[in-house]
Every structure is written in structure tokens, then in C-alpha cells.
Amino acid sequence: MIKTVETTPYQDQKMGTAGIRKKVKTIIQQNYLENFVQSLFDSIGGVQGKTFVLSGDGRYYNDIAIQKIIKMSAANGMKKLIIGQNGMLSTPASSRILLKNKADGGITLTASHNPGGENGDFGIKYATSNGGQCSAQISEKIYEKTKTITSFKTLDTPDIDLSKLGIQYLDHMEIEVIDPIKDYLLMMEEIFDFDAIKKLFQSGFTFVFDAMNAVTGPYGIKIFEEVLGAPKGSVHQAKPLPDFGGLHPDPNLVYAKHLVDLMYSDHAPDFAGANDGDGDRNMILGKKFFVSPSDSLAILTDNYRYIPAYKDGIYGVAKSAATSTAVCRVAEKLNIACYEVPTGWKNFCNLMDTNRITFCGEESFGTSSSHIREKDGIWAILFWLNIIAATGKSVEQITRDFWAKYGRTYYLRFDYDGIDSNVADALMHDLEENLPSFEGKIFEGCKVSRAHPFVYHDVVDGSSTKNGLLVYFEDGARICYRLSGTGTNGATLRVYIEAYDKHNFDLNPKDVLKKYLKIAALIAQIEQRTGKTEPDLTT
Ligand code: G1P
Ligand code: ZN
């Protein structure tokens, strides 16, 4: 029954910040997915006798890709696959299942927050036995293999029924189809004070969870409505759709505008949270109030004592270099370590594995803790609900109390999309060369104190990574530049800017950061090189 199929390699199967991510029309080319999966298997010494977790966010092609991978796994001698019902698991649930079952690896079929559907994106993330995405070194090995692959193994057999819970066999491989929510819910119940959150809902607290027509809809209904008692209908866009109903399932002020409009209207509930396509990102809103993700990480850290699982103390915290420094001020006050790592969740994992950190987060709407090795959208929402339940304060009040204590870090990310890759590479290259010449210079009345690339030395494995360029000002403001590693359409230049204010908390972030954006564009020659006079997206 095992077939060895001859194939020719593709040369573009490099993994980015979070796995391999491509347009659907690229992924569906003949043997494209098979080549990648066989290369993955081969570069980790095969999968003979191994157990993997396999699922996806339900986007277009999830159903076809999963059947291909099931057959290839059996043909390659995999011992067992654990699969969420109908082939779906959120990214955080997948990490949980992997860790709980001590599986050898995990494959998640997702392009995260990128649009889905036939004209959208598809992706594959590979996690190792620590529950987190593989290191850059492993990605590189897989990529090398994809460039020379000549054949892959599969089985000639009908598709597996993934709607049926329980155990079935394909050849010698066991397939266990599991309830996608059960174990995840149990873990959340162990972390948070569910009784307090139930009481909050009983008291009439109003709430919306927007699943953006993606994987966390059923999780939201189970956890928020059925278990915690939020009124029926509190979960919006709850049915996972292959094209996310045409939404760009990225929970931010631009792509979740419908939710933002609701929260700034007169019918706003007390709280709203949203997740992205695969359930690892989150957005937090109060009545007429938005919490920036960098602030959210800092606020959760400052309030860790209210959460049963963390009340006895936390290790350090970590943020990506692009994320604002708000959490560093909290860490200083709590007298815990604050690490700064390159963008991409995998960079937090060594710190969690060695108990150096408990919480971590990225400006791109990702927050989580060491309960798993991925970011976790529902965890972040439950954390906020738990703080609200414990303090009786609103989202706005909690945030304002935080600003009063630490000052406010105004922060925005500006994206310049669809730039020719050569132009983007040259811009970054030349900017890096010019950085030393900016030190001590004054632009728009602001003096540059330091300017250098961000270089990270992993304290655990000793590896070094360069990711982004940093420009610091004497007034505490900071610009960070980097190129996206998840795009599927040319290059995206991301410019992250923050400015610190100890006294004024009600300014408009766009106004505060305007002059720094001007400086950022000037010193990187953005207009001159890309023709763009302003960013395409501000979040
Ligand atoms: C983006 C975000 C990054 C996140 C990643 C995966 O990567 O910026 O924080 O970890 O998506 O969700 P980028 O496109 O910037 O490389
Ligand atoms: Zn995601």
C-alpha cells in the first residue's frame, strides 16, 4: 500500500517568523505540500515510532492538507497522530495537547491572522516536543532538504473520517480524534478563578467575544457562555468558516473595526475581546476604550497576584524587541528579570523551559505565559476578566491606574506593505550602515542617544540572532525597524515607535508619535526608496 512518489523540489519553501506561509495558489501546486512535509520528516530523522499532534485552524485547504499529511505520516511509520475533531485545534490548544501527551512534535495548519479562502493564505507551523515552534536552525535544515527532495512516501487509501471521536487505525498508525476544547478548558480552570468570573457575569457584567469566524468560536461558546455563564449570544462570529466570512482575521483596530465601532457606540458592553484565525492573538477593549497590546502585557504582569495560578510569585517577563518597554518598568518594580528577544514566539520558549520567565508578549496582539509554548488569545481575555472580577474595576480604570503608577508609553506600529523585496533589503542594509552616524544628531528637536541593530544572544542555546534596527532618543522615545517574516506579498517594512510620558495620559497616540514617524521616514529614506509618503497600516 505504501507508495513512493517521485517529485521535483521547489526552491521557495523557507519558513518565516511562524512556519511556512504562502498564498493558497502556491500551496496547491503539485506535490508542494508533500515536498515540504517529507522534507520536514526527513530532516528530523524520520517519524518512525513517533507521536504527533496534527490539526489546523479550519481555513480553506485544511481538510485536504490534513488528509495528505495523515497518509504521509502512516507511510513514514508514525506511531500515532492526535487530531482535533474535524481536523481543528486552536494554536494554543494544540500546544497544550502536545505537552499533555508528551508528543514528539506538532503540525498546525494555519496562516494565523492572514486572510483565508481560495485567494487567501495557507501555512504550516512545526512544533517540537517542548510545545513551541521549531528553532531557526531546524527551519534551516528543513529548507535545505526541500531544495533537493526527490521523492515522498504516502498511502493509497481513502480519506479518514475526522468527525468521529475516538481511536481508529490507518495501517499500523493509531489516529486519535479528540474533543478540541476539553483539555484546554481544564487547563484554563486550573489557572483562573472561574467562580469569581461566574459571579461577575451573574452580576450583569456585559461581554462580547468576537471569534472573527475562526477557530476559537466553539471554544468561546463553551468557555464563556456554557461554563462561565455569559449570556447566550455573547460570542460573535462564532462559526469557523474556511474563508473567515471574508474577514481579515486579525484582531486589531483596523481589521476588527466592526468590534471597535460597537465598543465606541452607546450600546457598548463592559468588555470585548477578539481572537485571530488560529486563536493565539487577542485584542482587549473596554467601553470606549482600547488597551494597546504592549500595555496589556505590562498590566497583566502588574496584576499577577489576582490569578490563582500565579499568586505565589512569577519568574521574569519577556517581550519582543519591537514591543514597547512598558512591561520593563513593571519588572523593575517587581524586581524580576525582563528579557528582550527577537520577534517570533519561538524565541520565548527557551526562557520558559528554563524557568526564567512566566509571562511574555509581543506588540502584535500576542500575550501568554508558560502554561504552554504559544501565545494564547483566550487566556489573555480570561486574565482580564479575572482581574476585573477581583478588583471590581473597569478595563479603563485598570489601565488608568496602571498609567498613574508607571506613566504611559504611547506606542504604534506603522506598516509599509508590498515593497519590492530588493528595495526593502537595500533600505535595511543602508540604514544599518548609517546608524552610527545618527548618534548625537538632532532631528525635529529630538536628540538621538543610541542607534544600533538589535542582536540577541540566547542565554540557553548560545545562538545569536540579529532582528531589527533600534534608534533611541534622549527623551525616552524609541524607533524600531524590521522586515516582516510572515508576509506573502513582497516585503513589509514595520516601523515601531514609542514615546514615554509620565504625566499626560489622554493624548492621541498618533499626535504624540507624529514627529518620530517623520524622523523614522527621513532617516530610512522611506519615501525616496519606496515612493510611499505614509504607512499603509497603523495599528
Ligand atoms: C508577525 C508579528 C510577530 C508574530 C508573528 C506570528 O510577524 O509581527 O510578532 O510573532 O507575526 O504571529 P512578522 O510578520 O512581523 O515577522
Ligand atoms: Zn495567530
Q: Which residues are designated catalytic? A: 112
Give mean pLDDT, residues 346-361.
96
Compute the distance between CA of residue 303 and CA of residue 136 in angstroms, rounded to an integer: 33
Give mean pLDDT, residues 18-25.
95
Confidence of residue 486 (pLDDT cuts 50, 70, 90): confident
Position 533 scores a pLDDT of 97
Give mean pLDDT, residues 357-383.
98
Q: How distant, in Å, are the alpha carbons of 31, 67, 100 from that of 6?
A: 9, 19, 37
Cβ < 6 A, ligand 1 pocket = 17-18, 112, 320, 343-345, 362, 364, 366, 484-486, 494
CATH topology agreement for domains 2-180 and 408-538: no
Question: In whole numbers, what is the pLDDT of the chain averaged over residues?
Answer: 97
Q: Tens digit of pLDDT for each residue in 139-150?
A: 999 999 999 999
Question: The whole model's pTM is what?
Answer: 0.96
Query: Please, what is the end-to-end C-alpha distance for the chain in angstroms?
Result: 52
Compute the distance between CA of residue 329 and CA of residue 301 in angstroms, rounded to an integer: 10
Q: Which of 65, 76, 70 is nearest to 32 (CA)?
A: 65
Q: Tens digit of pLDDT for each residue in 198-244?
A: 999 999 999 999 999 999 999 999 999 999 999 999 999 999 999 99
Give mean pLDDT, residues 324-353.
97
Q: Which of 213, 244, 256 is nearest to 539 (CA)?
A: 256
Q: Tens digit of pLDDT for each residue in 372-425?
A: 999 999 999 999 999 999 999 999 999 999 999 999 999 999 999 999 999 999
Cα 537 to ligand 2 centre (Å) = 18
177 - beta bridge partners? 83, 166
Closest C-alpha to ligand 1, atom 15: 484
* 2-180 maps to CATH 3.40.120.10: yes
Position 459 scores a pLDDT of 84
Confidence of residue 18 (pLDDT cuts 50, 70, 90): confident
Q: Tens digit of pLDDT for each residue in 268-317?
A: 999 999 999 999 999 999 999 999 999 999 999 999 999 999 999 999 99
Give mean pLDDT, residues 506-516.
97
Report, at the CATH architecture level, how domain 184-406 is classified. 3-Layer(aba) Sandwich (3.40)
Given 3.40.50.2000, 3.30.310.50, 1.20.120.330, 1.10.10.10, which CATH number is that of 408-538?
3.30.310.50
Task: Report domain extents, the chain.
Answer: 2-180, 184-406, 408-538
Is pLDDT above 90 for 1? no
Compute the distance between CA of residue 349 and CA of residue 371 in angstroms, rounded to an integer: 11
Cα 280 to ligand 2 centre (Å) = 5
Confidence of residue 430 (pLDDT cuts 50, 70, 90): very high
Pocket test for ligand 1, best of 125, 343, 346 (most atoms within 8 A of CB): 343
Concatenated DSSP letters of 34-61: HHHHHHHHHHTT--TT-EEEEEE---TT
Share of the chain above pLDDT 90, in %: 97
Asked whether the CA dihedral 100, 179, 19, 32 is positive or negative, the reply is positive
Helix (H) or strand (E) holding 27, with range, is: helix 24-27
493-516 burial: b if 16+ Cβ within 10 Å, else e: bbbbbbbbbeeeeeeebeebbebb
Q: Tens digit of pLDDT for each residue in 249-263?
A: 999 999 999 999 999
Position 470 scores a pLDDT of 98
Contact 112, 325 (CB under 8 A): no
